[in-house]
Structure 1
């Protein structure tokens, strides 16, 4: 099959979250299964600065944007996994420091930026050879593509993947002329939602198939609690919605062959985790210790349950446990975490930013990964943690519920610790269960080995998408 992916992130060139990891891995996995696959992204400044194999083509595409007419040159390159890549060059829109705006705020012209990008995608598809049969679109930035395909009666099947329903691409109704669509599209049956343009709703209504990134999340988003206002729209279209679990990239996240660790290890050499813990302690300025080490590797947003972490962290410190937080996001949460680390420097370290090498060392060194998410469409960090024998303590939601087997005290089996209620009391109770297991070395090692044997490869995810594509083409 011939598939053209369209998104705004692709690791390691343009990344703010898990979307970038999906676009790095899924097209490569499908290409490995014999399909013709290409990706199209905006030519962001970060891509221009980091992608070595990049060259301009002679192809210049033109699209209206309201009363104006804009053009974009297409660049071509290949990713580090040898996937063909097309980049849409329009410096006025994309040559900026941030992808969407400074942390916590959006660029004022995001409607123009991503409406234009969405118009270029089907225009580019006409020039790609072999001609794509399927346009696989990701998140709200490409949400208008199925509308443009439908309105122009173009010969493409569209798949739209919802990575996080909370981010919908909502703009004033006054921006509707920028779409250049007929007026009948700005209705409750079309892309209008409470007098605004809603790009995610547009994709839900007009795409041929909808997917999201875990089976559990596909069910959750059809409820008022998790539907972010779109639950009724999704329930009406549940016939075309499916949940396909994201995968883990074991070529990068495997402790048995990880060059970023002081000593690689497997389920048969778990003692080497302590070597990583000693290295980490030295790196952050602690003396070597044998107490439990908890970590959190996350975007720092309300969704990730940062308040729950702030609530329980003083109790961890009282018990003599250690905590390391790695991430960046909302400046308010960043400052609260910095205050916490300043208050308890002998037990708590907060590293603002993202450091790939430090993330690998931290996962290998830690005993437990904290993921108290209020909601979690899939989550990738828990998949990596399982392979490193680092047991997740997580809220039972979305992909966390699909990938973590809760500890059973009767049998001592499980791969992590789940809690249901989004409260600090429930979170701390799960932490106490983990501490109980930590004090029982045979049980701890049994759980670690079972966690490391879990298999969430991208090849399995690619096979599920393959089946979905075949059904569409049939």
Structure 2
């Protein structure tokens, strides 16, 4: 394989939009392959066929997969992600790996046999390839669920000529989630116990799916340049910083993009009033509609939006500490999220306390998320850490100005307008503290209220920024070509 030849890539991910999604991983897995296909490469996706997936698909093949000395059947069905590029119909083939016992369930995660479920994914994805006649140059593995695929390829499958030249890239979307299981998990993979050592997959007495990917992949990348640096420190390294430092020459950062066809305020069917950079005055119609939907007074006042997984990572404890102070401002605050019961209950109580100023929806609601991006003036992300973050990219696309703590991808994509009036696109702060967050919110509100002409320019600048996947896909292509030439 020569550099710049058409590459063959298998993208393996548990979540892929629009089929199965709990977070940003699905957006990446559903969008990056489209950009690479648009550039002329043969990119296909493998994922579990969960109960919720009811798209059109056709039967391809089936075969047994040995998991812990028992046979499980893998049924391969093929669907696609269709899209248009230069007015031509294109598609990304998606192979749904189906097993009734493992995947016919209401949720994607949080089952006692998750190790079995994702070990099956890793094995089935590899064993499918000769059966469908697809021999990828690169297997692109995403997050901990796919880490053991890198191990299996190197420990077992490269003995066979069909797999010998395949290389792996392993993308860390969030190092906090590692997939650490008991030592018994080795039996799922039919590999020798010699892999269970600190130099390989053993991690404080557990078998670590994440560590398997970090040790055995040819190249590692994560989803922003700042997060690459952060995860090599004790503060953000989740006890893997030593290994990541050791592999620092194989570690890269590429910030995520977003799908500009799907997330486009000019054509988005999920929002009430479409608008673009030349008609930003129409954006207010979305605010008025959301106020009605959320039972808030309909008036033109600053609205702050927050869409997030409700977890400690997202800095929500700081927000709860200061919500009473924030509510002293003449504003409205709208929150959409699901997660820890502590936060769900807490924000519902604040909604009761401030019925004319707060709208709260707990749960997953993608159309509502778009209406919040379109309606809000400001978008809050007070994260403790953020590998990349997509919320700030969506908000910029919709002319909603982000207020963020500068960490990970937030530091790489949001720049304070009061530090750089020509290029700034939001409001930022550095310390993970409620006081700094509150100060920055107040600073943003003052800017909005006292500098209307500068605010309008800020919104236009935000909407004109190119955070599309096309830019990031070029960087991934460069990384793939490096990988092709790399000797392990």
Do these two structures clear the TM 0.5 threshold for a shared fold by scoring above it? yes
Partner of 2:114: 110
Q: Give secondary structure in 2 for the equivalent of 1:277.
A: helix
Q: Do residues 229 (structure 1) and 239 (structure 2) align?
A: yes
Q: In the TM superposition, what is the alpha-carbon distance from 1:170 to its structure 2 partner? A: 0.2
Q: In the TM superposition, what is the alpha-carbon distance from 1:130 to its structure 2 partner? A: 4.2
Partner of 1:213: 223
- The match for 2:100 among 72, 91, 96 is 91
Change (3 A) 1:111 1:28: same
Partner of 1:24: 30
Partner of 1:466: 477
Q: Give secondary structure in 2 for the equivalent of 1:255.
A: coil
Please tell me whether the aligned partners of residues 4 and 125 of structure 1 are also in contact (alpha carbons under 8 angstroms). Answer: no
Partner of 2:269: 259
| 1:317-346 deviation line (CA, Å, top 9, x unaligned) | 221211000111122211111111111111
Partner of 2:88: none
- The match for 1:5 among 3, 6, 11 is 11
Give the TM-score of the pair, scaled to structure 2: 0.93
What are structure 2's unaligned runs of at least 5 residues? 1-6, 84-90
Partner of 2:62: 60
- The match for 1:192 among 202, 205, 213 is 202
CA RMSD of aligned residues (A): 1.4
CA distance in 2, matches of 1:60, 1:354: 33
Q: Give secondary structure in 1 for the equivalent of 2:417.
A: coil
Q: Give secondary structure in 2 for the equivalent of 1:345.
A: coil
Please tell me whether the aligned partners of residues 294 and 368 of structure 1 are also in contact (alpha carbons under 8 angstroms). Answer: yes
Partner of 1:34: 40
Q: Do residues 344 (structure 1) and 388 (structure 2) align?
A: no
CA distance in 1, matches of 2:48, 2:325: 46
Partner of 1:149: 153
Partner of 2:3: none
Correspondences of 1:253-332 after superposition (within 5 Å):
253-332=263-342
CA distance in 2, matches of 1:85, 1:188: 36
CA distance in 2, matches of 1:360, 1:388: 9
Please tell me whether the aligned partners of residues 413 and 446 of structure 1 are also in contact (alpha carbons under 8 angstroms). Answer: no
Change (3 A) 1:399 1:243: same
CA distance in 1, matches of 2:441, 2:13: 37
Q: Give secondary structure in 1 for the equivalent of 2:388.
A: coil
CA distance in 2, matches of 1:173, 1:358: 43
Q: In the TM superposition, what is the alpha-carbon distance from 1:165 to its structure 2 partner? A: 0.3
Q: Give secondary structure in 1 for the equivalent of 2:438.
A: helix
CA distance in 2, matches of 1:109, 1:32: 38
Please tell me whether the aligned partners of residues 178 and 208 of structure 2 are also in contact (alpha carbons under 8 angstroms). Answer: yes
Q: In the TM superposition, what is the alpha-carbon distance from 1:413 to its structure 2 partner? A: 5.4
CA distance in 2, matches of 1:190, 1:301: 30
Please tell me whether the aligned partners of residues 147 and 203 of structure 1 are also in contact (alpha carbons under 8 angstroms). Answer: yes
CA distance in 2, matches of 1:322, 1:314: 13
Q: Give secondary structure in 2 for the equivalent of 1:364.
A: helix
CA distance in 1, matches of 2:427, 2:421: 14
| 1:273-304 deviation line (CA, Å, top 9, x unaligned) | 22111111122222222221001011111111
Q: In the TM superposition, what is the alpha-carbon distance from 1:134 to its structure 2 partner? A: 0.8
CA distance in 2, matches of 1:91, 1:288: 49
Segment of structure 1 superposing worse, 235-244 or 328-337: 328-337
| 1:421-447 deviation line (CA, Å, top 9, x unaligned) | 111101001101101111110121121
Runs of 4+ residues deviating >6 angstroms: none
Give the TM-score of the pair, scaled to structure 1: 0.95
What are structure 1's unaligned runs of at least 5 residues? 101-105
Q: Give secondary structure in 1 for the equivalent of 2:280.
A: coil
Q: Give secondary structure in 2 for the equivalent of 1:137.
A: strand
CA distance in 2, matches of 1:30, 1:352: 35
Partner of 1:103: none
Q: Do residues 168 (structure 1) and 169 (structure 2) align?
A: no
CA distance in 1, matches of 2:331, 2:30: 36
Q: In the TM superposition, what is the alpha-carbon distance from 1:44 to its structure 2 partner? A: 0.6
Q: In the TM superposition, what is the alpha-carbon distance from 1:114 to its structure 2 partner? A: 1.0
Partner of 1:139: 143
CA distance in 2, matches of 1:186, 1:410: 51
